[in-house]
Amino acid sequence: MNFDSAIEFLKKDSKMNQLIRIYDPPILKPQDDYFYSLVRSIVFQQLNGKVAKIIFMRFIKLLPVNKINSRNVLMLDNNEMKKAGLSFQKINYIKNLAHFFNENLFDKKSIEKMSDEEIIELLIKIKGVGQWTIDMFLMFTLNRLDVMPYSDLAIKKGMKSLFSLNELPRKNEMKRLSINWSPYRTIACMYLWKSVDDSFEW
CATH 1.10.340.30 assigned to domain 34-141? The reply is yes
- Judged against a pLDDT cut of 60, whether residue 188 lies above it is answered with yes
The domain ranges of the chain are 4-28+148-196, 34-141
Let me know if the fold of 4-28+148-196 is the same as that of 34-141.
no
CA distances from 193 to 62, 80, 87 (A): 30, 33, 26
- Judged against a pLDDT cut of 90, whether residue 201 lies above it is answered with no
- Judged against a pLDDT cut of 70, whether residue 202 lies above it is answered with no
> What digits encode the pLDDT tens for the residues 129-180?
999 999 999 999 999 999 999 999 999 999 999 999 999 999 999 999 999 9
> What digits encode the pLDDT tens for the residues 61-103?
999 887 889 999 999 999 999 999 999 999 999 999 999 998 8
Percent of the chain at pLDDT > 90 equals 78
> What digits encode the pLDDT tens for the residues 35-63?
999 999 999 888 877 888 999 999 999 99
Total count of residues recorded for the chain: 202
Return the pLDDT at 104: 81
Query: How many other C-beta atoms are found inside a 10 Å radius of the C-beta of residue 14?
Result: 8
Instruction: Quote the pTM value.
Output: 0.87
What class has domain 4-28+148-196?
A: mainly alpha
pLDDT band at 1 (very low <50, low <70, confident <90, very high): low
Q: b/e map of 15-41 (b: 16 or more CB within 10 Å)?
A: ebeebbeeeeebebeeeeebbebbbbb
**Nearest C-alpha neighbor of 29 from the set 140, 135, 156, 127:** 140
Return the pLDDT at 200: 63
